[in-house]
Amino acid sequence: MEANKEISLNIGFIGAGNMAKAIGEGLIHAGVIKPSNLYISAPSDKNLDCWKSLGANTSHKNGYVVENSDIVFISVKPHLLDPAIEGIKTTLTQKTVNNKLFVSILAGTSLDILEEKLSEIVENVRVVRVMPNTPMTVHSGASVYCGGTNAKPEDLAIVKRILNHVGICEEVPEYLINAVGGLAGSGPAFVYIMIEALSDGGVKMGVPRALATQFAAQTVLGAAKMILETGKHPGQLKDEVCSAGGTTITGVHAMEVGGVRGALMNAVEAAARRSAELGPKK
């Protein structure tokens, strides 16, 4: 499948927030979908204005999105799943809306719950669960996905293709979704704190704030690219910077004394556990 081949399917978003916008804009900017093939619903005109400016189809009716889309992204907050589904049911103009693929980006919401609730609308519903992250906004996302009971191989293939246009993505078993959410979903916030702390360190040593933040962010970006592009283990790359008795190993020792490594591990664990708690329960 060619990466730049246009997607002729209609794609809908129930919920018009940042994550939905990142996916939609990413597809448009990649030249793989026309704005006229996008359908978006949200209760607020404020959230729809940016979509209107792109040339997408917008509505306050969730049923309108489902009826006109081949793929429907459910991109509301987890606690709004039931109202979103009720909004679909009350605004449908057709008796049946079969042959639709639903893609959920709701944290902590399992496939069996999604299938149970969406079966109120579609028989033999096809669902793919996705855990994305906010750097999708700058086409540098890291997402994972898994398919439900009735999801077909071609369903998984098109979801992977869509997500690849806004970053990288991998298929994983569902039991890993919350763990990856704690790592990649929440991880950007942890990295922002690290960048801010590095910038603070630079300011403490006399570097002007704007320059300190710029260099802290570029340093993190460069280090990440070193791992991704060289394929080397992070520990090996760290060792290559740490000369005997030098400045870097002295700084690394200060980090170990401060418990940075353990704090980050704890942060991922805490976020993953919270992700599991957020979704609706049976």
Q: What is the pLDDT of residues 170-218, one digit of tens each?
A: 999 999 999 999 999 999 999 999 999 999 999 999 999 999 999 999 9
18 is in an annotated binding site: yes
Distance CA 8, CA 97 (A): 19
User: For residues 228 and 196, what is the distance between their CA atoms, to the nearest angstrom?
Assistant: 23
Question: Residue for token digits 């855990």?
Answer: 131
Q: Is 7 left (phi over 0), alpha (psi -120 to 50) or beta?
A: beta
Does 146 lie in the same domain as 56?
yes
Indicate whether 161 and 243 sit together in one domain: no
In a domain, 3, yes or no: no
DSSP annotation of 138 reads G
Judge if 224 and 144 occupy the same domain.
no
Domain containing 204: what range?
187-278
Task: State the distance between the two ends of the chain, measured CA to CA, in whole angstroms.
Answer: 39
Is residue 28 predicted with pLDDT exceeding 60? yes
The helix-helix angle for 260-278 and 187-204 (nearest 10°) equals 150
Distance CA 10, CA 2 (A): 19
How many domains, in total, are found in the chain?
Answer: 2
Q: Which of 115, 147, 177 is the last residue of a domain?
A: 177
Q: Is 226 part of any known ligand binding site? A: no
Euclidean distance between CA atoms 133 and 185, whole angstroms: 5
- Domain of residue 202, CATH code: 1.10.3730.10
Same domain as 89, residue 38: yes
Q: Are residues 39 and 158 in the same domain?
A: yes
Label residue 99 left, alpha or beta by phi (over 0 means left) and psi (-120 to 50 means alpha).
left
Kindly state whether residues 66 and 193 are assigned to the same domain. no
Tokens representing 269 are 């664990």
Percent of the chain with pLDDT over 70: 97
pLDDT tens for 104-119 read 999 889 999 999 999 9
Per-position b or e across 211-244, b if 16+ CB within 10 A of its CB: ebbeebbeeeeeeeeeeeeeeeeeeeeeeeebee
Find out whether 99 is annotated in a ligand binding site.
no
Q: Are residues 165 and 200 in the same domain?
A: no
Structure tokens at 79: 């606690």
CATH number, domain of 93, equals 3.40.50.720
Tokens of 212: 């300190």
pLDDT confidence bin for 282, thresholds 50/70/90: low
Residue 251 belongs to a domain? yes
Is 182 part of any domain?
A: no
Q: Choose among 200, 212, 237, 244: nearest CA to 222.
A: 237
Long-range contacts of range 47-50, CB-CB < 8 Å, 24 or more positions apart? 47/16, 47/17, 48/16, 50/16, 50/21
Residues 145 and 238 placed together within one structural domain of the fold: no
Instruction: Indicate whether 151 pLDDT > 60.
Output: yes
Amino acid present at 262: G
Question: Is 245 assigned to a binding site?
Answer: no
19 in a known ligand binding site: yes
Q: Is residue 150 assigned to a domain?
A: yes
Q: Establish whether 202 is an annotated binding residue.
A: no
Q: How confident is the model over 220-255, as pLDDT tens digits?
A: 999 999 999 999 999 999 999 999 999 999 999 999
State the Cα–Cα distance between residues 238 and 59, nearest whole angstrom: 51
pTM of the model: 0.89
Same domain for 61 and 170, yes or no, is yes
Alpha helices in the chain (DSSP H): 18-29, 45-54, 62-68, 81-91, 111-118, 153-164, 177-180, 187-204, 209-230, 234-241, 247-258, 260-278
Query: Beta strand pairing status for 11-14 and 38-41?
Result: parallel
Where b means 16+ CB within 10 Å and e means fewer, 263-276 reads ebeebbeebbeebe
